[in-house]
Amino acid sequence: MNFITSLALIAVAYAILYVIALLFVDCDLRLAWAEKFGKPTDCLAGKVVWITGASSGIGEHISLALARAGVKLVLSARRAYELERVRQSCLKVGKNLKEKDILVLPMDVLEVEKHKAYFQQVIDHFGHLDVLVNNAGRSQRAIWEEIELAVDKEMFNLNVFSVLSLSRIAVQHFMKQNEGHIVVTSSLAGVMAAPYSASYIGAKHAIHGYFDALRLEKMMHNITVTLLCPGPVFSNILADSFTGRPKEKFGKPMEITDRRMSTERCGHLCAVAIANKLDEAWMALPPIIFMVHFLICYPNVASLVTRFLGPKFFVKMRDTKVRMEIKSD
């Protein structure tokens, strides 16, 4: 057997093992490797991490996962009483954390004119910031042509422009201290489109464009950019989702029988991705990760597959048993 043949067999074997692994893991393989063999979340102990949208869902469980690692936290969201609840939970599970190590900073991320003042409060309390986790945001359920333009503007104000505003302030701080880490909770919807969430999909794709560009610009400045991309996860995001009309919420809760990743597991994987400074981290129950890989890597085949499966299939993959009042083709 010559060298070329041996190399080809190794490549084929690797490809087969790669595909098989994707069928069983609940995250991309780089994240799975980092969880088993990478840096433990404890490597972040003593770091100062600011998390927006920390009062519930993924943000709450990222906070808890980081508290267990001994991370000093700034917890932000609009509901001060919920932030205090999360703070107390973090203190209970926290590794060597004292009261002063967790700052509750209520804020509405839409008030971008106050971002510099909020940022200064963090610096006044801790003296510096190591990681900013932009987690605040909302999803959407609506039919494409029925979405009012005002909803697109609301979506981008919350899921894009508020994130850019706070991140630019943080990056200026990181440039001065010659180190820093920007984290943004995106979605698998920012990697691959899904039906009936056009404004949300557009916003998440915009996030990837902005922060991929930031990563390229600052790769020589010791500034890390991580995009967290969860698939379906248990949270209150569905009930609070935008619709096609301004100021309206979707209002339908998830069911306990839905097939979604737990927020605890998602929060842990997000913490692993942050600790290992991954560029991008995908997480969802199998076989979603495999499907996303396949549909992105083989776009011509993907076009045929998606036409065959139709939008109903992708709605069920994302929302399982949620009864959606959407006109299906």
Q: Which 3 state secondary structure label does DSSP give 221?
A: coil
Q: How far is CA 248 from CA 146, 148, 161, 328, in A?
A: 13, 11, 20, 21
154: left (phi over 0), alpha (psi -120 to 50) or beta: alpha
d(CA 143, CA 243): 8
DSSP one-letter code for 79: -
From the candidates 14, 18, 118, 200, which is the catalytic residue? 200
User: Which residues is 75 bridged to in the sheet?
Assistant: 51, 104
200 as an active site residue: the answer is yes
Q: How far lies 263's CA from each of 21, 27, 111, 224, 233, in Å? A: 23, 14, 27, 24, 6
Which DSSP symbol is given to 242? Answer: B
* CA proximity to 184, closest of 59, 73, 31: 59
**Going by DSSP bridges, is the β-strand pair 72-76/48-52 parallel, antiparallel, or unpaired?**
parallel
DSSP code for 80: H
Q: What is the rounded CA–CA span in Å between residue 194 and residue 282?
A: 16
CA distance 263 to 177: 33
Integer CA distances (angstroms), 122 to 24, 129, 170, 219, in order:
41, 7, 11, 25
**Backbone φ and ψ of 286, nearest 5°:** -65, 150
DSSP 145-174: GG--HHHHHHHHIIIIIHHHHHHHHHHHHH
In angstroms, how far is CA 46 from the centroid of its own chain?
23
The catalytic site residues sit at 200
